[in-house]
């Protein structure tokens, strides 16, 4: 009896020991695996092994040295400046010697070497000879941050610039420098005049000082009426001598504080913002006045072409109509900043025809990294394929620069969704080299952001590469556009058209559904938008039989029974596209669920929650759009697909909010 009891005790003690040990091991594993995404793609652990040899020292070279000495796992790296290299930010890596013309080139070279180390499994050899030069000298993030800390179309918390915390600024600067981003516009293009008050400039100076060693210049968005609103003048007429003097003094004040200030970004005469047209002047008059004032300081003006008037029969025509007559009239330090598409960052648009029409004006493209129209921070949508699509029509060399509307806020993981970090990453990599493929960039990002086995990586790679087309499918396939909810741009509201709201801010203006068909007739018989494209494209888009099907309802009012290449009618094809999108969104979730063994628990769960939202939203999109369009088509939903599970009348009463399942995004301000 006694013996048995003792044996039992021993067993209990052993079991407890085992339990404690396993809890300890599990605890360790958990601690090791907990990741919150705060370090972005720069998650390497210090190895503190390399010795870096360099003759020159500067704050930028010092950072390059520290990065390599901390994270490079070779013995020795040499950093060399070479005045014979091309005069740009490029670098050469020969074994473990990095050579560059500029200090910042050495920093970019250091990050490139570290990237090779992190992605070596992809077959990049650290010892390979590599010389790389940026396609664009200006690679800018546009932050739409407001002085009160909100971020317009931001879904990742509040502005990181509200109280620029040095630790956060350092991660931000490292991340940008690691992918070659060299400029940040600190405030919203819907600029408050206060942005130019001395107190605000002092804050900009503080940020500029923190970013400078990483090769990043700061820029500001300005309100064109600032001479009135800040300066107390009675006019902001760009040809008025007092106005010009006010801008000169303001610019001098800025450069005293920030000697390497980059320049101004201007949204003028657009969506109610003031501009030169308010004083009977042109965009060129306004932009050139600012250009002249900035010129002695080597500053630039980025003047946006995002303009449209409420009464126009076709919003897509307008930027061209306003800017083409001014081609060749802009000063040489003015760049016209044009959104990739002619309407507004839709999941799919054709390229803006201004890019191929303007021949005598420096231009830059504005992409939107924040997912205003692609599921906010809830949907996994990798945007590189969309930007590459743009570059398949617009030659990179025809542009001067690239800007991206940032998806960054003070959320722990910066971008709201762990995978949204890949869009920040992809933007920077493409601004350096638009010839990189979406696949290369996604592979690099995955290799640096997770520690997965190759097979798992390749499944995630497919998810990323398919995600943009999936989003197009479940939101607005076959060229449909701008059928978003009226009060935000997250869910569908193709029926939204309250009295009193400008027509071009309502979906029926764009989809034009009726008993005949669906889509906006932009052919020569319609708004003639096709005419703004080069002749061959014009011809192709104008003919419903040659127009690419993925833009069909963009350029045509497509009859419901129009025969598609698949043999289906347009209506049936539309139904299938929506259903494909839903299936794809569900498939992304299934793939992710199988990643659990390879991903740290925190990021696994956070991404899983978002993918579940995405799959539910996709279903909501399909049901809302198909049931609503069916009231015009009067055709049945095909039998060989999943049928809607919601009722239209119920959906029409409910406006799916961005934060339906999560905390609402704080950013939306309009």
Residue ranges that bind ligand GCV, judged by CB under 6 A: 144, 152-153, 188-190, 267, 271, 306, 344, 670
Closest to 471 (Cα-Cα) out of 417, 519, 513, 432:
417
Q: Where are the alpha helices (DSSP H) in 230-295?
A: 241-257, 283-294
The residue (of 153 and 348) whose beta carbon lies closer to ligand GCV is 153
Burial class (CB in 10 A: 0-12, 13-18, 19+), 502: exposed
- Catalytic residue of the set 314, 344, 443, 549: 344
User: Are the C-beta atoms of 667 and 151 separated by less than 8 Å?
Assistant: yes
The residue (of 491 and 526) whose beta carbon lies closer to ligand GCV is 491
Q: How many CB atoms lie within 10 A of CB 430?
A: 29
Please report the DSSP string for 17-56 in residue order.
Answer: HHHHHHHHHHHHHHHHH---STTTT--PPP----EEEES-
Residue 140: its H or E element: strand 138-142
User: Are the C-beta atoms of 239 and 285 separated by less than 8 Å?
Assistant: yes
Asked if 344 is an active-site residue, the reply is: yes
The residue (of 504 and 572) whose beta carbon lies closer to ligand GCV is 504
End-to-end Cα separation, the chain, in angstroms: 80
The residue (of 265 and 447) whose beta carbon lies closer to ligand GCV is 265
The residue (of 188 and 422) whose beta carbon lies closer to ligand GCV is 188
Distances (CA, A) of 653 to 624, 646, 650, 665: 11, 12, 5, 22
Shortest Cβ distance from residue 201 to ligand GCV (Å)? 22
Counting Cα atoms < 13 Å in the Cβ hemisphere of 333 gives 17
Shortest Cβ distance from residue 160 to ligand GCV (Å)? 18
Q: How far is 645 from 653, CA to CA, in rounded Å? A: 16
Asked if 372 is an active-site residue, the reply is: yes
The residue (of 370 and 532) whose beta carbon lies closer to ligand GCV is 370
Q: How far is 340 from 395, CA to CA, in rounded Å? A: 13
- For the record, the structure tokens of 589 come out as 């979730």
Shortest Cβ distance from residue 413 to ligand GCV (Å)? 23
- For the record, the structure tokens of 84 come out as 């014979």
Shortest Cβ distance from residue 485 to ligand GCV (Å)? 12
- Catalytic residue of the set 372, 443, 444, 579: 372
Shortest Cβ distance from residue 615 to ligand GCV (Å)? 26
Asked if 69 is an active-site residue, the reply is: no
- Catalytic residue of the set 131, 249, 271, 514: 271
Shortest Cβ distance from residue 658 to ligand GCV (Å)? 13
* Active site (catalytic) residues: 271, 344, 372
């Amino acid at each position: 009896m006694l013996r048995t009891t003792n044996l039992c005790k021993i067993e209990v003690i052993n079991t407890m020991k085992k339990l404690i040990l396993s809890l300890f091991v599990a605890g360790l594993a958990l601690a090791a695996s907990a990741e919150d995404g705060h370090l972005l793609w720069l998650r390497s652990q210090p190895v503190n092994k390399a010795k870096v040899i360099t003759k020159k020292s500067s704050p930028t070279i010092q950072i390059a040295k520290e990065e390599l000495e901390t994270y490079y796992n070779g013995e020795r790296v040499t950093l060399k400046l070479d005045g014979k290299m091309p005069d740009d930010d490029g670098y050469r890596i020969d074994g473990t010697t990095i050579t560059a013309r500029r200090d910042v080139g050495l920093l970019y070279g250091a990050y490139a070497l570290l990237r090779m180390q992190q992605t070596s499994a992809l077959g990049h050899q650290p010892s390979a000879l590599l010389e790389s030069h940026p396609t664009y000298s200006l690679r800018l993030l546009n932050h739409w941050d407001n002085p009160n800390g909100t971020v317009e179309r931001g879904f990742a918390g509040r502005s990181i610039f509200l109280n620029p915390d040095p630790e956060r600024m350092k991660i931000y600067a490292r991340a940008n420098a690691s992918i070659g981003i060299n400029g940040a516009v600190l405030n919203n293009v819907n600029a408050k005049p206060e942005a130019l008050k001395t107190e605000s400039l002092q804050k900009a100076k503080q940020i500029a000082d923190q970013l400078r060693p990483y090769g990043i210049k700061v820029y500001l968005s300005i309100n064109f009426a600032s001479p009135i609103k800040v300066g107390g003048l009675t006019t902001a007429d760009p040809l008025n001598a007092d106005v010009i003097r006010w801008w000169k003094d303001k610019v001098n004040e800025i450069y005293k504080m920030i000697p390497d200030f980059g320049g101004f970004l201007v949204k003028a005469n657009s969506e109610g913002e003031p501009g030169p047209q308010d004083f009977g002047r042109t965009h060129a008059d306004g932009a050139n006045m600012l250009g002249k004032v900035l010129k002695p300081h080597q500053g630039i003006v980025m003047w946006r072409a995002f303009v449209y008037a409420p009464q126009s029969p076709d919003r897509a025509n307008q930027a061209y109509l306003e800017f083409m007559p001014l081609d060749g009239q802009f000063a040489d330090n003015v760049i016209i900043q044009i959104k990739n598409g002619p309407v507004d960052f839709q999941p799919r648009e054709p390229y803006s025809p201004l890019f191929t029409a303007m021949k005598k004006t420096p231009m830059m493209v504005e992409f939107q990294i924040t997912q205003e129209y692609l599921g906010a921070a809830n949907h996994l949508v990798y945007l590189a394929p969309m930007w590459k699509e743009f570059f398949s029509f617009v030659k990179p060399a025809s542009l001067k620069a690239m800007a991206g509307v940032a998806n960054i806020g003070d959320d722990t993981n910066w971008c709201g969704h762990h995978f949204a970090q890949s869009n920040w990453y992809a933007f920077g990599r493409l601004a350096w080299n638009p010839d990189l493929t979406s696949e290369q960039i996604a592979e690099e990002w995955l290799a640096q952001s997770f520690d997965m086995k190759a097979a798992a990586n390749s499944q995630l790679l497919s998810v990323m590469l398919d995600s943009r087309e999936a989003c197009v499918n479940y939101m607005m396939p076959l060229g449909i556009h701008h059928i978003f909810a009226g009060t935000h741009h997250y869910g569908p509201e193709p029926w939204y058209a309250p009295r009193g709201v400008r027509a071009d801010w309502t979906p029926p203006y764009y989809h034009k559904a009726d008993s005949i068909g669906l889509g906006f007739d932009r052919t020569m018989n319609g708004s003639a938008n096709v005419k703004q494209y080069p002749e061959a494209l014009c011809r192709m888009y104008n003919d419903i039989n040659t127009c690419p099907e993925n833009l069909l309802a963009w350029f045509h009012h497509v009859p419901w029974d129009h025969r598609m290449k698949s043999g289906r009618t347009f209506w049936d094809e539309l139904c299938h596209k929506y259903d494909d999108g839903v299936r794809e969104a569900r498939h992304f979730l299934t793939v992710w669920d199988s990643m659990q063994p390879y991903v740290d628990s925190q990021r696994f769960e956070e991404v899983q929650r978002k993918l579940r939202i995405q799959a539910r939203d996709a279903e909501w999109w399909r049901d809302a759009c198909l049931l609503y369009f069916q009231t015009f088509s009067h055709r049945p939903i095909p039998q060989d697909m999943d049928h809607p599970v919601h009722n239209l009348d119920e959906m029409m009463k409910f406006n799916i909010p961005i934060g339906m399942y999560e905390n609402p995004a704080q950013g939306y301000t309009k």
